[in-house]
Amino acid sequence: MKTKAVRLYGKRDLRLEEFELPEMKDDEILARVISDSICMSSHKAALQGADHKRVPDDVAINPTMIGHEFAGVIMDVGEKWKHKFKPGQKFSIQPAMAHTGTLNAPGYSYRYIGGDATHIIIPGIVMEADCLLNYDGEAFFPASLSEPMSCIVGAFNASYHVPPGPYRHEMGIRKGGKMAILAGVGPMGLGAIDLALHHERKPSLLVVTDIDDSRLARAACLFPPEKAADDGVRLVYVNTAKIPEPVKSLREITDGTGYDDVFVFAPVKQVVEQADAILGFDGCFNFFAGPTNTEFRAEINFYNIHYSFTHIMGTSGGNTDDMRESLRLMAEGRINPAVMITHVGGLDAVVDTTLNLPQIPGGKKLIYTNISMPLVSLYGMKEKGRNDPFYAGLHEIVAKNDYIWSLEAEKYLLDNGKPI
């Protein structure tokens, strides 16, 4: 079977190509990808090529498919897995397989599996690692976004506290505690706000910072402080660029105690140092944002580490249980990952979008891999719809839903979009 896929050949060398997939083996599964959301990690892999920890050294000779936040439909199942999977079954993928002892992951390391493709072959290691998950939802995009949401779920689960005395690690964010999400209104930050407000261990205070008023305003529209208060959380948005002493102001919001849990969603030295400075006693600082600079550094107060029991950690990706938790929270209607999406496009938009991702404003860029379509913001569809009835129809749907992507919008795009 032929597939069309975006493949990585080296540093800044991505190519959309059509080629023949090999014959499926007995321990493999043939699948059709429907949606993939583009991650900053794919951008980093595209910049670093073979220098990336997950990309093979011989990628120039044996290119790999990119994209790891994807969902689709199973087409054929090898004999080994027929007891568990069947054609027509919807799926999502957990690409993080570190528990198997390897950094290899779909979307980075393999020739025939990645999210930015029309058709893929899922290798046996994915099923053996229990990383191919059944998905029962009607829309595909939540299954794609279950991967980035699982990273946030994993970060919340991996954060910890160590009360003095028993010295027992208490895993997870502090229930009823004080939380700060710094640089927190990008796509992953929005997901973190959503999770924090609806988590079983939600904080009593949630402070979200950024340096862009328009981004903060959108976050406040999606997650109003008044609604958060109804759910028992005091939600405060702060533009740290507009206050002379951000650390002092952020600590004052906590009545001087500092924060139990602080998450950093941008690899910026100043933000990292702010996070360290606002930690309270036994405060946990999770450096969530992975830098591209291998020499990234910031100054940390070791006096507080010693006397205030502050601690620093980082998480990269979630595990299969985290993804199952994110799928459960979506199914229960407690979180809505659609708030992360600001752009949609087709497979032919992937190369430019991935290479230039930091320069494209907004949140998540959602790709429908069997569609030919430039990357378009949800707000930009109105202008394109003036001369194109396809975009006019799509704009009508997203506009009535307050410019939040939806099942109706996805169905319209898949039914009316131009095939790749």
Residues 6+ apart with CB under 8 A from 353: 38, 343, 345, 360, 365, 367, 375
Residues 205-235, buried b or exposed e (16+ Cβ, 10 A)? bbbbbbbeeebbebbbebbeeeebeeeebeb
CA distance 362 to 383: 17
CA–CA separation, 253 vs 236, rounded Å? Answer: 9
Q: Does domain 2-135 sit in CATH 3.90.180.10?
A: yes
The amino acid that residue 171 corresponds to is M
What pLDDT score was predicted for residue 236? 98
Residue ranges covered by each domain of the chain: 2-135, 150-314, 346-419
Decide the pairing of beta strands 29-38 and 364-368: antiparallel
| pLDDT given for residue 68 in this prediction | 95
Q: pLDDT tens, 209-240?
A: 999 999 999 999 999 999 999 999 999 999 99
**pLDDT above 80 (res 101):** no
- Assign domain 150-314 to a CATH class: alpha beta
Asked if residue 102 has pLDDT above 80, the reply is: no
pLDDT of residue 99: 63
Q: What share of the chain is helix, strand, coil (3-state, %, to 5)?
A: 35, 25, 40
How confident is the model over 103-125, as a mean pLDDT? 95
Instruction: Identify which of 305, 338, 286, 284 has the alpha carbon closest to the alpha carbon of residue 137.
Output: 338
Quote the mean pLDDT of the chain. Answer: 94
pTM above 0.85, yes or no: yes
**Mean pLDDT in residue range 135-142:** 92
Angle of helix 187-198 relative to helix 141-158, nearest 10 degrees, comes to: 70
Burial 59-75 (b: 16+ CB within 10 A, else e): beeebbbbbbbbbbebb
Return the minimum-mean-pLDDT range out of 28-37, 149-158, 342-351. 149-158
340-360 mean pLDDT = 96
Q: What tokens were used for 240? A: 């740290």
- Determine the average pLDDT of the residues in 248-256: 97
Say if residue 317's pLDDT is above 90. no
User: Residues 106-116: pLDDT tens digits?
Assistant: 999 999 999 99
pLDDT digits (tens, 9 = 90+) for 370-396: 999 999 999 999 999 999 999 999 999
Residues contacting 233, CB < 8 A, separation 6+: 196, 197, 202, 203, 204, 205, 206
pLDDT of residue 319: 84
Q: What is the pLDDT of residue 255?
A: 96
Mean pLDDT of 131-154: 92
3-state secondary structure at position 91: strand
DSSP single-letter state for residue 117:
B
Residue 244's region, left for phi above 0, alpha for psi from -120 to 50, else beta, is alpha
pLDDT above 90 coverage of the chain, percent:
86
- In tens, the pLDDT along 162-202 reads 988 888 899 999 999 999 999 999 989 999 999 999 988 99
Tell the residue number behind the tokens 């959108």, with chain if given: 218
